[in-house]
Structure 1
C-alpha cells in the first residue's frame, strides 16, 4: 500500500508553505535565534563544533548570514575578536546577502570574502560566498573562478556544485531544450568524478530541473511541469535512475525512511536532494516512489526545489498528494 504523504505546514496564510532553509539542523536553528538577539558566542561555539566539515560549515554560515541582523552582530564579534576566522567568515556571508539585496556594494562584499579567505586559506566557505555573489551580481568568469576555488579545497562540495549547476542552467535562456547544453555535460562529469555513494549523483537531475525552470521562465516551455514529455525523455529517465540508485544504495535497497544506510549519516542538505528526486519521480509518473520520498522529507518538503511563474504552490502540493494516493489531479 502506498504510504500517505506527510502533512504540509502552512504559514503566513493558508496558501504559503512554510520552509526553513536551516533544513532541520536544530543546533543551527538555536544559534540563529541566539544571533538575532546578539549572542554571537553561541555561533562561535557552533562553528567550533562544526570544525572542518566543510559542507556543514558552508550550510550553517549561509543560513546564519541570511539573518537580518547578522552583519551587525558579526561586526560586534569582529571588534571583540579581530583575529577570529569564524567572525570574518560570518561577516563575509552576511555581506554577500546584503549585496544581493542591494544594501551594500558587491565590491565591498567581495573584499570581505577575500579577507576571510586570506585569514583561512584552506576554508572553501568564503569562496562559496563569492560564488553566491557571482551568481547574483557577477560574470560567468567570476562564477567559474569561485567554483574552482571551492572545489580545490573540497572536491565534493555539495552547495557549490548545486550553485554551479544553476549558474550554467541560466545561460542561453531562449535557445530551447538543447540536449548538448553545457549544464548537462557539467553535471554528468561532476557526478562521475564524485564516485559511488556521493549525493552529487543527483546533479544530473538538478541540471534537468533547473534547465526546465529557466526555459519555463523564458516562455520556451509551459510553466506547469505536470505530465510533459520533458520528464519521460531518455535524459530524464537516466538522470532519475542515477539519483534514485544513489538513494536506494544509501538506504540499503529501500526507498522508504531508512537511516544512514551504507554511507553514514545525513548530509546537511539531504532534504534538497530528496525534494529534487521526489518531484522528479512525481512528474515522471512514478507516484509510489514520490509518495515514499515525500514521507521521508516530511516538513522539509518545499513547494518544489525550483520555481515557476503562475504556479499555485498549494495546488501543486494537493495534486502531488492526490496522485500519490491514487485520487487523480483534483
Structure 2
C-alpha cells in the first residue's frame, strides 16, 4: 500500500485499489475488447488467467482480484466463454460464478438458478480443495438467496477452515446476520463481539466492526427527518466511539494494514471519522489514501468522488 506525502492527489475511483497489476489488466481488457477482433476472447482469457495464476496460495489477493474482475465483466459473456472452453479450469469456474453473483446482487436475485452457481463452486472446490474462494462465493449466494442459517453456517465453516480471517466472508456474514436479511441486531452484536475477542488487529477482516457501525449510522440517515439531523450522535455512543478509537491511530500507519483491500478499509475509516466530526484524525487517513476512492461508503451522500473530495478538503483544513 502506497503512503503518500501531504500533497493531495486528485480523487479517483479505483476498484483495483493499489493493485497495479490488476489495474493494468483492467485497462488492457478495455483496450482489447475495443478492437473487435475474432481473437478478442482468447486475448482476454490469456491475460486474466496469467494474473490469477500468480496468486495461488495468497487467498486474500486472489479473492480481491476475482471480485473486481467479476464486477468489471458482469455485463459481458467473457467469463461464461472461458468456462465453456475450459470446464475443468478452477479459476474460470470461480470467475464465472462470482460474475453471476455480481449480476445477482444488482438484480436482487440470481439470474440463473442458484443450483448452477453452487455446482460450479463445488466443482472448483474439488479441483482446488485448499482454496476458500469457492466457499466465499457460496456464502454470497447464501446471503442473496436467504439460505437457512444451518446451511449458511456450514459454508462459513468451510471458509474458516481454509482462511481464518477472510475479509469477504466476514463481511458477508455480517450482512447475512443483520435484521434486514436472515438475522437480528443481537446476532450482529454477538458476531462482532466474538470476532473482536480473538482477531489480530491487522487481520484482513479488521474492518468488520467498523463496517457494522457505518451500516447502522447510514440506516439512521436513510430514515430521514429528525433522526437524520441528529445522526452524528451515533458516534458518541459507547460502542461506536470505541470501534473508532480502536483503529483511528493504527490503520493509517505505514505497513500496518497489508491485505489486498486495505485502501477500502481506510476509505471506511476516513468516512467514519468525518461522520464523527473527528476531522484532524481523518487527515493522516486521507494522506495514506492518496486520492483512491471506493464507491462505498461515500455513495450514501451522492457522487463518491465528490463526497470523498469534499471530505478530504475538510480534513486537511482541520475545520
Q: TM-score range by the shorter chain?
A: 0.7 to 0.9
Higher mean C-alpha displacement, 101-110 vs 82-91: 101-110
- Compute the displacement of 1:49 (Å): 0.9
From 6, 27, 39, give the equivalent of 2:8.
6
Asked if 1:324 is matched to 2:293, the reply is: no
From 244, 251, 265, give the equivalent of 2:248.
244
Q: What corresponds to 1:83 in structure 2?
A: 88
The 1:90/1:221 distance shift into structure 2, 3 A limit, reads farther
Cα deviation code 1:228-258 (max 9, x no counterpart):
211111112211122235426xx3xxxxxx3
Aligned partner of residue 201 in structure 1, secondary structure: coil
Counterparts in 2 of 1:257-268, with a 5 A limit?
258=254, 260=255, 266-268=258-260
- Equivalent residues, number: 299
From 162, 186, 189, give the equivalent of 1:153.
162
The 1:321/1:66 distance shift into structure 2, 3 A limit, reads closer
- Alignment gaps of 5+ in structure 1: 10-17, 252-257
Asked if 1:110 is matched to 2:112, the reply is: no
Cα deviation code 1:273-294 (max 9, x no counterpart):
1112112222222211112211
Asked if 1:162 is matched to 2:140, the reply is: no
Query: Matches of 1:225 and 1:296 in 2, distance apart?
Result: 30
Calculate the aligned-residue CA RMSD, in Å.
3.2
Asked if 1:135 is matched to 2:143, the reply is: yes
Cα deviation code 1:5-31 (max 9, x no counterpart):
83444xxxxxxxx52322231211233
The 1:319/1:127 distance shift into structure 2, 3 A limit, reads same
Deviant stretches of 4+, over 6 Å: none
The 1:30/1:155 distance shift into structure 2, 3 A limit, reads same
From 279, 291, 297, give the equivalent of 1:305.
297
TM-score (ref. length: structure 2): 0.79
Asked if 1:283 is matched to 2:291, the reply is: no
Contact persistence 2:73–2:79 (CA under 8 A): no
Counterparts in 2 of 1:99-248, with a 5 A limit?
99-100=104-105, 101=107, 103-139=111-147, 141=149, 142-171=151-180, 181-217=186-222, 222-223=227-228, 228-247=232-251
The 1:143/1:212 distance shift into structure 2, 3 A limit, reads farther
The 1:314/1:69 distance shift into structure 2, 3 A limit, reads closer
Q: What corresponds to 1:255 in structure 2?
A: none
- Compute the displacement of 1:89 (Å): 1.5
Contact persistence 1:184–1:204 (CA under 8 A): no
Query: Matches of 1:153 and 1:137 in 2, distance apart?
Result: 24
- Compute the displacement of 1:320 (Å): 2.2
The 1:96/1:317 distance shift into structure 2, 3 A limit, reads closer
Asked if 1:63 is matched to 2:76, the reply is: no
Contact persistence 1:202–1:242 (CA under 8 A): no
Contact persistence 1:93–1:113 (CA under 8 A): no
Q: What corresponds to 1:30 in structure 2?
A: 24
Contact persistence 2:279–2:314 (CA under 8 A): yes
- Compute the displacement of 1:137 (Å): 2.9
The 1:35/1:200 distance shift into structure 2, 3 A limit, reads same
Contact persistence 2:14–2:294 (CA under 8 A): no
Higher mean C-alpha displacement, 19-28 vs 188-197: 188-197
Aligned partner of residue 13 in structure 2, secondary structure: coil
Query: Matches of 1:128 and 1:217 in 2, distance apart?
Result: 29
Query: Matches of 2:225 and 2:130 in 1, distance apart?
Result: 42
Contact persistence 1:78–1:84 (CA under 8 A): yes
TM-score (ref. length: structure 1): 0.77
